[in-house]
């Protein structure tokens, strides 16, 4: 099966997150049509062949033209597929609909962010499941929705995945025989709180079922998002943690269903790859360069935001190790509503911290901020001896499960998403010191975890001091990923949920 970008990739752009408790303004039919046309056109143009880089870059990296006629005139001859029509629109051809019921999966397939990688993992797993079974009662279609589009991400997808995207986007679904999956944060659901193709496309009553697939990294769901969840027929969440937090926030318990995420254990298989040459990819920020064949390599993969706990990681690492310990820390990161000046951010953080320069110098820290093609990502994990991510909250933690599938010993915060799969037998759960209030952003006032820096120091030292224990836990981690979260296992779960709805 072909693969797509990990959650380490992140759509770029300085767009402020929506306020989840702010009601949206009324959306005019003209504006809805423009958003629909633009979003459909972006997906079509992205999956069409031979489009010049200049035109694609302009299309995907600048705001969409408000002049539909001019926009169509420039790009119209590249269009292979038309936008999906409203079921009541004149001229709709019933013969173009799929012969069996549809699952229309709407997600930010072109963003390269967390929801993007999740959606691809579900759709590819489900597609392969249907191909093998050949007895399913439904077909699958896809539609871009819910986030920015990244040309770089699209061009990094394998050719067969892009070809499949074109095929799935061509699937024409009769609305009253369609189950829509809105795989995004609830602010993107109809009516959206920001400019995006709404999900569902038309009225909720036009479809057989509408399912919201979402998650949060804090201890609750805001009132407006809870209201939006309750408008759905069902809400799929990935962990028991989310079942509890959604229900305690007022989401109807009868609507909340746990559907875990898949990790591609065939692709993320350490036996298939040689280690990447990290020194050719990373920039040294602190400390002295080690020999290419010496030392213990820590890896962390995340988008650059406070929630990911990069400050806690730097604090623990720099206080626990110095230049004589033979260790290095590699940060594979991307911006999140920020610039890419990660080196200066790290230096500024260290200068403002209470950490003094060790007598034997800093333990080295490297940053990899270049785009890593999906095909190369397993080699990055393969080059590491251990993975660490002390985040304050995770919806799921895709880099964590990818590292576990690659048999790496993992240190991750024992709260939120990772509690679904991280144990003392297959990794190193990082204890939470206290719960802390979110002080800014759309989830201000919520709580998330504040991991213990002191215990993180002990865990990173333990990995270096007892590598055999780490390797054994890494091997168990891969066995657990195969047993519980392989694409075949999760696709069967998803297919069963869909079949239950079609039979009801």
Mean per-residue pLDDT, 153-159: 84
Residue 3 forms part of a structural domain = no
Predicted local distance difference test score (pLDDT) of residue 293: 63
pLDDT-wise least confident of 9-23, 66-80, 132-146, 286-300 = 66-80
Name the H helices within 295-392: 310-320, 342-352, 377-382
User: E-assigned strands of 145-252?
Assistant: 178-183, 209-213, 234-237
Same domain flag for 310 and 213: no
Inter-CA distances, 489 with 8, 202, 242, 494, Å: 24, 32, 20, 9
Report the distance separating Cα 447 and Cα 435, nearest Å.
Answer: 6
- pLDDT tens sequence across 313-333: 999 999 999 999 999 999 999
Report the distance separating Cα 400 and Cα 302, nearest Å.
Answer: 10
Closest CA to 7 of 159, 104, 187, 147: 147
Residue 263 forms part of a structural domain = no
Mean per-residue pLDDT, 243-268: 97
Predicted local distance difference test score (pLDDT) of residue 155: 83
Give percent of the chain with pLDDT exceeding 70: 80
Structure tokens at 322: 């110095």
Structure tokens at 239: 């962990």
Same domain flag for 410 and 468: yes
Residue 6 forms part of a structural domain = no
Mean per-residue pLDDT, 347-376: 92
CA angle 122, 126, 128 (to 5 degrees): 120
- pLDDT tens sequence across 272-282: 999 999 999 99
Bridge partners (DSSP) of residue 303 are: 334
User: Is residue 108 packed enough to be buried (19+ CB in 10 Å), middle (13-18) or exposed (0-12)?
Assistant: buried
Report the distance separating Cα 206 and Cα 221, nearest Å.
Answer: 27
Same domain flag for 44 and 170: yes
* Number of structural domains the chain divides into: 2
Report the distance separating Cα 433 and Cα 436, nearest Å.
Answer: 9
Q: Which domain holds residue 396?
A: 270-485
52 by DSSP, 3-state: which?
Answer: coil
CB atoms within 10 A of CB 253: 9
pLDDT higher at 460 or 99: 460
User: Over 70: is that where the pLDDT of 269 sits?
Assistant: yes
Predicted local distance difference test score (pLDDT) of residue 28: 47
Mean per-residue pLDDT, 170-178: 92
The pLDDT-based confidence of 154 (bands split at 50, 70, 90) is confident
Give percent of the chain with pLDDT exceeding 90: 69
Structure tokens at 179: 């189950």
Mean per-residue pLDDT, 37-41: 53
Q: Do 108 and 147 meet the contact criterion of CB atoms below 8 Å apart?
A: yes
Same domain flag for 218 and 281: no
- pLDDT tens sequence across 175-186: 999 999 999 999
We report the CATH number of the domain holding residue 72 as 3.40.50
Predicted local distance difference test score (pLDDT) of residue 98: 59
Same domain flag for 114 and 163: yes
User: Residue with structure tokens 């869909």?
Assistant: 498
Same domain flag for 350 and 422: yes
We report the CATH number of the domain holding residue 462 as 3.40.50.2000
pLDDT-wise least confident of 60-64, 227-231, 292-296, 446-450 = 60-64
pLDDT higher at 87 or 447: 447
User: Over 80: is that where the pLDDT of 268 sits?
Assistant: yes
Same domain flag for 390 and 499: no
Residue 18 forms part of a structural domain = no
Inter-CA distances, 456 with 307, 317, 388, 392, 463, Å: 16, 8, 9, 13, 11
Residue 303 forms part of a structural domain = yes
Residue 11 forms part of a structural domain = no
Report the distance separating Cα 124 and Cα 86, nearest Å.
Answer: 27
Same domain flag for 373 and 285: yes
Q: Do 276 and 299 meet the contact criterion of CB atoms below 8 Å apart?
A: no
Mean per-residue pLDDT, 207-229: 97
Same domain flag for 202 and 146: yes
Bridge partners (DSSP) of residue 389 are: 412
Same domain flag for 169 and 282: no
Predicted local distance difference test score (pLDDT) of residue 100: 87
Under DSSP, the state recorded for 58 is: H
Model-wide pTM > 0.75: yes
Residue 365 forms part of a structural domain = yes
- pLDDT tens sequence across 396-423: 999 999 999 999 999 999 999 999 999 9
User: Residue with structure tokens 């006032």?
Assistant: 445
- pLDDT tens sequence across 51-91: 434 333 333 333 322 333 222 332 333 333 334 555 454 44
Average pLDDT of the chain, as a whole number: 84
Same domain flag for 196 and 57: yes
pLDDT higher at 55 or 110: 110
Same domain flag for 298 and 385: yes
Mean per-residue pLDDT, 330-341: 85
CA angle 223, 225, 226 (to 5 degrees): 60
Report the distance separating Cα 389 and Cα 392, nearest Å.
Answer: 9
Residue 5 forms part of a structural domain = no
């Amino acid at each position: 099966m072909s693969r797509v970008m990990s959650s380490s990739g992140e759509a770029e752009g300085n767009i402020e997150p929506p306020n989840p408790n702010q009601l949206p303004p009324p959306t005019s039919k003209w504006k809805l049509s423009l958003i629909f046309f633009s979003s459909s056109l972006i997906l079509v143009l992205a999956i069409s062949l031979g489009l010049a880089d200049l035109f694609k870059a302009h299309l995907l990296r600048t705001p969409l033209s408000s002049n539909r006629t001019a926009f169509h005139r420039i790009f119209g001859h590249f269009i292979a597929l038309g936008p999906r029509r409203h079921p009541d629109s004149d001229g709709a051809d019933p013969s173009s609909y799929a012969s069996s019921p549809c699952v229309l999966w709407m997600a930010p397939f072109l963003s390269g962010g967390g929801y993007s990688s999740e959606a691809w993992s579900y759709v590819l797993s489900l597609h392969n499941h249907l191909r093998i079974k050949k007895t399913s009662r439904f077909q699958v279609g896809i539609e871009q929705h819910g986030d920015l589009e990244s040309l770089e991400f699209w061009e990094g997808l394998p050719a067969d995945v892009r070809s499949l995207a074109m095929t799935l986007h061509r699937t024409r679904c009769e609305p009253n025989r369609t189950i829509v999956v809105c795989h995004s944060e609830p602010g993107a659901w109809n009516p959206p709180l920001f400019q995006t193709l709404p999900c569902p496309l038309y009225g909720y009553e036009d479809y057989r079922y509408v399912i919201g697939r979402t998650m949060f990294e804090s201890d609750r769901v805001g009132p407006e998002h809870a209201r939006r969840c309750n408008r759905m027929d069902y809400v799929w969440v990935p962990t028991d943690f989310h079942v509890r937090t959604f229900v305690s926030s007022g989401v109807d318990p009868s609507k909340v269903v746990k559907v875990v995420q898949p990790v591609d254990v065939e692709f993320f298989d350490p036996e298939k790859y040689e280690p990447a040459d990290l020194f050719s990819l990373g920039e040294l920020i602190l400390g002295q360069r080690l020999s290419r064949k010496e030392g213990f390599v820590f890896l962390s993969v995340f988008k650059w935001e406070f929630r990911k706990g990069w400050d806690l990681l730097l604090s623990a690492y720099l206080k626990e190790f110095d230049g004589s310990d033979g260790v290095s820390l590699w940060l594979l990161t991307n911006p999140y509503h920020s610039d890419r000046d990660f080196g200066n951010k790290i230096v500024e953080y260290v200068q403002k911290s209470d950490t003094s320069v060790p007598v034997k110098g800093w333990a080295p820290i490297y940053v990899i901020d270049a785009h890593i093609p999906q095909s190369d990502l397993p080699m990055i994990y393969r080059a590491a001896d251990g993975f660490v991510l002390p985040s304050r909250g995770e919806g799921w933690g895709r880099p964590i499960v990818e590292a576990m599938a690659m048999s790496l010993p993992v240190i991750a915060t024992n709260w939120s998403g990772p509690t679904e799969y991280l144990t003392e037998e297959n990794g190193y759960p990082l204890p939470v010191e206290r719960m802390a209030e979110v002080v800014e952003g759309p989830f201000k006032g919520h709580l998330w975890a504040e991991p213990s820096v002191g215990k993180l120091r002990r865990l990173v030292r333990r990995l270096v001091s007892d590598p055999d224990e780490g390797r054994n836990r890494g091997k168990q981690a891969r066995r657990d990923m195969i047993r519980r979260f392989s694409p075949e296992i999760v696709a069967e779960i998803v297919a069963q949920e869909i079949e239950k709805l079609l039979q009801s």
